[in-house]
Amino acid sequence: MLLTIRDLSKSFPGTKALDSVDFDLAAGEVHALLGENGAGKSTLIKCLTGAYRRDEGDIRLDGEPISPGSTAEAQSLGIGTVYQEVNLLDNLTVAKNLTFGREPRRFGLIDGRAQRAEARRMLEGYGLDIDVGRDLGSYSVAIRQIVAIARAVELSGKILILDEPTASLDAAETRMLFDVVRGLRDRGLGIVFVSHFLDQVFELTDRVTVLRNGAKIVTEKTAELDRVALIRHMLGRELEEVEAEQGADHTRSEARRTVVDFKGYGRDGLVDPFDLTVREGEVIGLAGLLGSGRTETAELMFGIRAAQRGEAKVDGEPVSLTSPREAIAAGFGFAPEERKTDGIVADLSVRENIILALQARRGWAKPVPRAEQARLAETYIKRLDIRTSDAEKAVGELSGGNQQKVVLARWLAMNPRFLILDEPTRGVDVGAHAEILRLIGEITEGGMSVLVISSELDELVAASDRIIVVRDRAHVAELSGVEITSGAIVTAIAAPDAGKVA
C-alpha cells in the first residue's frame, strides 16, 4: 500500500470529527472518499495535508510513519492537494504559477524563458494546448484546475487529493479533467477523489470509502457496489425516504391565486425583459447553464440589481424592488448561491444568523426578545435538523450543508410569501439534499411560493410545478405539467427555438 491510515482520531471542542478511521490508498488507484457534510472527509484530508494535527492514530507512506505539520511538509513528502476553489494566483501567468516558489534563476534574477520552458514541460501529458505566458485568470476554471493539478503533481508526486474538483465544471470540462486523472493513475499515483456527484464516482473511481459521523463505514470496490447500497451507507437510513421525494405531481398550479406578477421585467446587459407569474404555493424551477442568466434573474427579482424596465405587482399592487429591503418588505426571501459571501455572517452565532433578517425588518429599535430568539433558533435547529452543538456556535464553524440550512431557517423565520432559492443543494450531501427537497414540498403546502434555481435537472423535475428555461440571458421556454422532463429541458436549453412558449 502507498498510504495506510490506522485508527486516526481527531476531536474538536464538542465534537469528535474522526473516530478511529482506517483508510488505504494503493498506487495507481482512484479512491473515492464519500460522506455527508460533516462526516469527516475534510478533517481526514486536513490531517493528511498537515493543516490539522491528529490526536491519535498512525499514518504511513510507503511503510514509513509520517506526521506532516504543514502543507509544505506534506508536499515534500509527496502528498499534493487541489481544492474546489483553485488556490493559485489568477493575476500571474500560467508559467509563474507553475514555478511559483522555485523559479529558475539566472544571475540571481528570474529567467523568464527557462520558466516558460519549465512550465511547458510540466504541462506535457495533460492534453492542454495553452499559452503559458498568459495570465491564469484568463483561462476557464477547468484549465486552472488542471494547472493546479500539474503543479501539485510536480511538487509532490505520490498522492494527489482532489477535493470536489468538478463542482464548478460543466460536462465537457469534467470529461477533460477525468482524462487527466486517469492519465495520472496510469502513471502510478494514488488519487483520493472527493465528490458529491455519485455518477462521477462510479465513472472514475476504483474503490470507495464511505465516512459517516466521523467513522469509517465501508471500503469497497466501486464495481461491486450498487448505487442504492452506496447511498444507504452514506445516509445510514433506507433509501425509500429519498426516493419518496422524487416525482412530485405537476398538476396543482392551475387555478391558484397569483401572488407576484412580473411584466416585461429586465435590465440591459443582465437579463432580457421577461414575464413571470408566481402563484400561491407553487414551485417554479429555473433551469439553464451556468452564466445563462439564472442567478441574474433572481438578483433582479430580489432588488440586488435594480430593474430598468417592466413592473412587478404583488397581489395586484405595483411594488418597487430596488433593494433587498424593499423586496423583503414585499414578502420576498432569497437564499443566494454563494452562501459564504452572500449568505451567512460567519462570526455570528446560529441563533443570530437565524433572526438576522427578522431583526432587520423590525428595525434596530425593536430587538427580538431573547426568549423569542432562543425559541426560533431551537425550532429551526430541530425542524431543519441543523447539526450544531448548540445555538450559540458560530455559523462559520458548521459544515456547508448546515450553513445552507441556517440561511434557509433565516428566511423561513420571516414567513415570506415568495422564496427564491439559488442552488439550494449545491455542495450539499445526499441526506441534506433530500431534506431540503422535502422542506420545499412542506413549505409550499403552507401556501408559500418558491422559485428554485438548480443545475440538477432531476431535482428540478422532481420538485417543480413549472419550469422556466433560461438561455443567453433570456427566458426562452416555459414547461408545465406533463411537459416537465429532463429531456424537454435539455432540448429547450440546447435548441434555439424548440419548446418556446409564445
Q: Which residues bind other proteins (CB under 8 A)?
A: 302, 304, 324-325, 328, 334, 336, 341-348, 352, 356-357, 359-368, 410
Pick 218 or 346: Cβ nearer other proteins: 346
Measured from the CB atom, the residue of 107 and 364 that comes closer to other proteins is 364
Of residues 397, 432, 429, the one with CA closest to residue 34:
429
The three-state DSSP-derived secondary structure of 45-61 is HHHHHCCCCCCEEEEEE
Map 142-170 to HEC letters: HHHHHHHHHHHHHHCCCEEEEECCCCCCC
CB-nearer residue toward other proteins: 257 or 366: 366
Residue ranges in 169-239 assigned as alpha helix (H): 171-186, 198-204, 227-235
* Amino acid type, 487: G
| C-alpha grid cell, residue 335 | 437564499
Q: Nearest distance from residue 21's CB to other proteins, in Å? A: 22
Please, what is the minimum distance in Å from the beta carbon of residue 339 to other proteins? 8
The distance of closest approach from Cβ of residue 307 to other proteins in the complex, given in angstroms and rounded to an integer, is: 17
Task: Please report how close the Cβ of residue 156 comes to other proteins at its closest, in angstroms.
Answer: 28
Of residues 180 and 453, the one with the C-beta less far from other proteins: 453
**With respect to other proteins, which residue has the nearer C-beta, 324 or 499?**
324
Q: How far is the CB of 85 from other proteins (least distance, A)?
A: 17
User: Which CB, 282 or 352, lies closer to other proteins?
Assistant: 352
Question: Cα separation of 402 and 39, whole Å?
Answer: 12
Report, in Å, the least distance between residue 360 CB and other proteins. Answer: 4
In the numeric block, the cell 427578522 is attached to 358
| Separation of first and last alpha carbons in the chain | 62
Q: What are the φ/ψ torsions at residue 100 (nearest 5 degrees)? A: -55, 130
Residue among 363 and 496 whose Cβ is closer to other proteins: 363
Residue 19 or residue 326: which is nearer to other proteins going by CB? Answer: 326
| Cα angle value 494/499/502 (rounded, 5°) | 130
Q: How far is the CB of 380 from other proteins (least distance, A)?
A: 15
CB of 428 to other proteins, least distance (A): 18
The Cα angle at residue 418 between residues 357 and 436, in degrees rounded to 5: 80
**Least CB distance to other proteins at residue 368 (A):** 7
Give the C-alpha distances (Å, rounded to integers) separating 454 from 283, 324, 336, 486: 12, 22, 12, 12
Residue 299: CB minimum distance to other proteins, A = 10
Cell match 460522506: residue? 35
Name the residue with cell 431543519.
384
372-376 contacts, C-beta under 8 A, 24 or more apart = 376/351, 376/413
Q: How far is the CB of 327 from other proteins (least distance, A)?
A: 8
- 3-class secondary-structure state, position 131: coil
| Amino acid identity, position 489 | I
Q: Report the residue number, 368 or 462, with the smaller CB distance to other proteins.
A: 368
Residue (of 237, 157, 221, 150) closest to 189 by Cα position: 157
Helix or strand or coil: residue 279? Answer: strand
Query: Between 352 and 429, whose beta carbon lies closer to other proteins?
Result: 352
Alpha carbon 103 to chain centroid, angstroms: 35
By C-alpha distance, which of 403, 40, 301, 26 is closest to 188?
26
* CA 372 – CA 375 distance, rounded (Å): 5
Nearer to other proteins, 274 or 411 (CB): 411
